[in-house]
Amino acid sequence: MKILFLDTAHPFLKKELEENNFSCDEDITSSKEEIEKKISQYDGIILRSRINIDKQFIDSFSLPSGKGRFIARIGAGMEHIDVTYAESKGIKCISSPEGNRNAVAEHALGMLLNLLDHISKANAEVKSGKWIREANRGTELEGKTIGIYGYGNTGSAFAKILQGFGVKILAFDKYKKNFGNAQVKESATDEIFSNTDVLSLHLPLTEETKHLVNTSFISKFKKNIYLINTSRGPIVKTDDLVKNLESGKILGAGLDVLEYEETSFELIRSSTKIDQPEALQYLFNSNKVILTPHIAGWSFESGEKMARILARKIIELK
């Protein structure tokens, strides 16, 4: 079976596949159009998110013109792949969310503790010569209610890592049932809205979840809350997030992903602040917001874990 790598991957993946009699080529620089011209000769492709796998690409990859059997994603999100169309053409779509779920959970916890204890803010102040204690008084996690929205790989991993903190964990998942246990209460949205102190998002990006977290959604929470998003940026409507940070309805936000992620860092490097969206400027300047560059699942350990999991899944397709 012949495979084309479209993105870099942990060396274990290529090595393991070749040891199991797969032929592996790499092309991590050619354009989508260039790859479409040759993709018909491959049985499978492996990628992160460099290329959008749309109907045109899939038609070039699938039978009768192509040999396409599988699309393998290093990571979790599949929003850049037209999975429904691919599978209608007999192409299997697989990913490796099991490999980075612990990294995401630890990162989400780190962001939450940072917010509650003002760690980044206090660090910056001390390094600039300011010794401010009262304004940086922390809030303990113990006794709080954590609402987890989406209980797949990362949501369940976050619940697991929270269990030593003396918190109450409520979890909602529209597409899963009977997943509750002694530590996690399977909950309806009304219970989440009524009791949550901290909301952590663990959702895929779909038409259904885009801008799910907007002012209407946020206003349903009885308490003022902290928000953690390690899933996908467009799930949160940034303009509405800013309005609720300003009003105090959202006490603080830890964001590993941004709604306009593809352009935001280009704006930082090459444009003046005047050219940046106003909401983005607010996030940059607010001491109630922790930002990281989409690295929650990107640990040294997760790279190899994802490679091992994806290799096993691909080998099982033979």
Dihedral, 273, 275, 280, 286 alpha carbons, nearest 10: 20
92: which strand partners?
A: 70
Q: How many CA atoms lie within 13 A of 100 on its CB side?
A: 25
Which residues 6+ apart lie within 8 Å of 88 measured at CB? none
> Residue 268: what pLDDT?
52
Cβ distance 145 to 168 under 8 Å? yes
SS3 26: strand
Is 232 a catalytic site residue? yes
Q: What domains appear along the chain, each with residue ranges and CATH number?
A: 2-97+301-315 (3.40.50.720), 101-291 (3.40.50.720)
Token pair, residue 264, equals 């935001």
> Residue 159: what pLDDT?
98
Q: How far apart are CA 145 and CA 252, in angstroms?
A: 16
90 C-beta neighbours (distance < 10 Å), count: 11
Is 294 a catalytic site residue? yes
Dihedral, 183, 188, 251, 274 alpha carbons, nearest 10: 120
Q: How far apart are CA 12 and CA 3, in angstroms?
A: 15
As to burial, measured by CB atoms within 10 angstroms (0-12 exposed, 13-18 middle, 19+ buried), residue 92 is middle
Which residues 6+ apart lie within 8 Å of 139 measured at CB? 116, 117
Is 316 a catalytic site residue? no
As to burial, measured by CB atoms within 10 angstroms (0-12 exposed, 13-18 middle, 19+ buried), residue 209 is buried
* Tens digit of pLDDT at every position of the chain (318 positions): 999 999 999 999 999 999 999 999 999 999 999 999 999 999 999 999 889 999 999 999 987 777 899 999 999 989 999 999 999 999 999 999 999 999 999 999 999 999 999 999 999 999 999 999 999 999 999 999 999 999 999 999 999 999 999 999 999 999 999 999 999 999 999 999 999 999 999 999 999 999 999 999 999 999 999 999 999 999 999 999 999 999 999 999 999 999 988 755 555 544 445 467 899 999 999 999 999 999 999 999 999 999 999 999 999 998
> Residue 223: what pLDDT?
98
> Residue 305: what pLDDT?
97
> Residue 213: what pLDDT?
98
> Residue 60: what pLDDT?
93
Pairing of strands 145-149, 2-5: unpaired
Cβ distance 98 to 151 under 8 Å? no
3-state SS of 109-177 is HHHHHHHHHCHHHHHHHHHCCCCCCHHHCCCCCCCCEEEEECCCHHHHHHHHHHCCCCCEEEEECCCCC
Asked whether the bond before 204 is cis by omega within 30 degrees of 0, the reply is no
Q: Which of 106, 125, 186, 261 is catalytic?
A: 261
Cβ distance 253 to 229 under 8 Å? yes
> Residue 260: what pLDDT?
87
Q: Which uninterrupted H or E stretch holds 13? A: helix 11-19
> Residue 63: what pLDDT?
72
Q: Which of 191, 294, 304, 308 is catalytic?
A: 294
Q: How far apart are CA 22 and CA 312, in angstroms?
A: 13
Q: How far apart are CA 244 and CA 16, in angstroms?
A: 49
Cβ distance 45 to 61 under 8 Å? yes
Which residues 6+ apart lie within 8 Å of 252 measured at CB? 115, 116, 226, 227, 245, 288, 289, 290
**Could you give the strand order of the β-sheet that contains 225-229, starting from the edge strand earlier in sequence?**
184-186, 168-172, 145-149, 198-201, 225-229, 250-255, 289-291
Query: Whole-model pTM?
Result: 0.93
Q: Which of 10, 107, 118, 232 is catalytic?
A: 232
